[in-house]
């Protein structure tokens, strides 16, 4: 067995004991990070220097303590882009790629109709959704807003040079200059109920900013604001998409129905067949 395979196997056992959800993947990803290579090329590494072994051991200890993998590597992959992440910003999750894909498809429809899509990303966090949209729909005019100054700084870094209009502000009041012009409104807002504190994964609860996680007693406060604010921002015929917790598959569409003024309200499931995001259209 090669040194890398042995190291990864032993490291995975160590992470599994610590309760890390994906021990084999994380062990290999951390070693690849230390060695400056990829997981797929680990077997080609001839030897591991003593200082690299020490660094790997240090990162494993931090991961075993449930520090997020992405904080240790400094980046998170998302669709076709990679963004910098670390303390102070929400780490993008793979399931959010579905919401981003929905927004990208809607923006492409606007392009296909011969128009320039106006897209707004509320609660942008690291800027990953906005970054993906401008990456895959270069013709789009993408705007993003973040309330937390620390997260906004990460978004500035990730959106630099992309042409995205990034602002520091509140989703409830941002973009008065875009009222009635937005084709696609998208958001991965905070949606965890305050009472669900204990059920949140250790990595998120202890390391993601709470402003990005919790949203009132039922987790729907931010989504209520989006449903109302969206009626002002979105043009007639425009759409809104919002991520939510898997237990909110009925509650979130219910919010849009209660606010009124939306049609084609529906919920969408993720690849694990769990409710994941809701969408609606403003009547023409």
**CA 253 to each of CA 28, 58, 230, 276: distance values in angstroms, whole numbers, following the listed order:** 40, 45, 14, 11
DSSP string computed for 47-95 = ---HHHHHHHHHHHHHHHTT--HHHHHTEEEETTEEEE--TTSPPP-TT
191 labelled ligand-binding: yes
Using the Cα atoms of residue 189, residue 191, residue 197 and residue 201 in order, give the sign of their dihedral: negative
Question: Can you tell me the distance from the alpha carbon of 49 to that of 176, in angstroms, rounded to the nearest whole number?
Answer: 56
**CA 26 to each of CA 47, 70, 95, 226: distance values in angstroms, whole numbers, following the listed order:** 20, 10, 18, 35
* HEC per residue, 1-44: CCHHHHHHHHHHHHHHHCCCCCHHHHHHHHHHHHHCCCHHHHHH
Question: Can you tell me the distance from the alpha carbon of 237 to that of 239, in angstroms, rounded to the nearest whole number?
Answer: 7
188 labelled ligand-binding: yes
Query: Which residues are documented as binding site for S-adenosyl-L-methionine?
Result: 146, 188
Query: Which residues are documented as binding site?
Result: 146, 188-191
Query: Which residues are documented as binding site for substrate?
Result: 188-191
């Amino acid at each position: 067995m090669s040194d890398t395979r042995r190291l990864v196997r032993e490291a995975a056992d160590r992470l599994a004991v610590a309760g890390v959800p994906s021990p084999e993947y994380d062990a290999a990803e951390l070693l690849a990070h230390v060695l400056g290579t990829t997981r797929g090329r680990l077997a080609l590494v001839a030897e591991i220097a003593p200082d690299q072994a020490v660094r790997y051991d240090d990162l494993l200890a931090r991961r075993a303590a449930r520090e997020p993998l992405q904080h240790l590597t400094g980046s998170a992959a998302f669709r076709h882009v990679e963004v910098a992440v670390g303390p102070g910003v929400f780490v993008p999750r793979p399931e959010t790629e579905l919401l981003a894909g929905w927004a990208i498809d809607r923006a492409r429809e606007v392009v296909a109709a011969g128009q320039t899509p106006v897209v707004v990303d509320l609660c942008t966090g690291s800027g990953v959704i906005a970054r993906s949209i401008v990456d895959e729909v270069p013709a789009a005019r993408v705007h993003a807003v973040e309330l937390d100054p620390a997260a906004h700084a990460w978004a500035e870094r990730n959106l630099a040079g992309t042409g995205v209009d990034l602002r520091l502000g509140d989703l409830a009041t941002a973009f008065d200059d875009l009222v009635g012009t937005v084709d696609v409104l998208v958001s991965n807002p905070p949606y965890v109920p305050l009472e669900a504190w204990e059920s949140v994964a250790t990595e998120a609860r202890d390391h993601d900013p709470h402003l990005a996680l919790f949203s009132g007693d039922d987790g729907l406060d931010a989504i209520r604001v989006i449903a109302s604010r969206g009626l002002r921002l979105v043009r007639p015929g425009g759409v809104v998409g919002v991520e939510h917790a898997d237990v909110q598959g009925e509650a979130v569409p219910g919010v849009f129905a209660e606010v009124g003024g939306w049609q084609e309200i529906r919920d969408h499931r993720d690849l694990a067949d769990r409710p994941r995001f809701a969408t609606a259209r403003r009547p023409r």
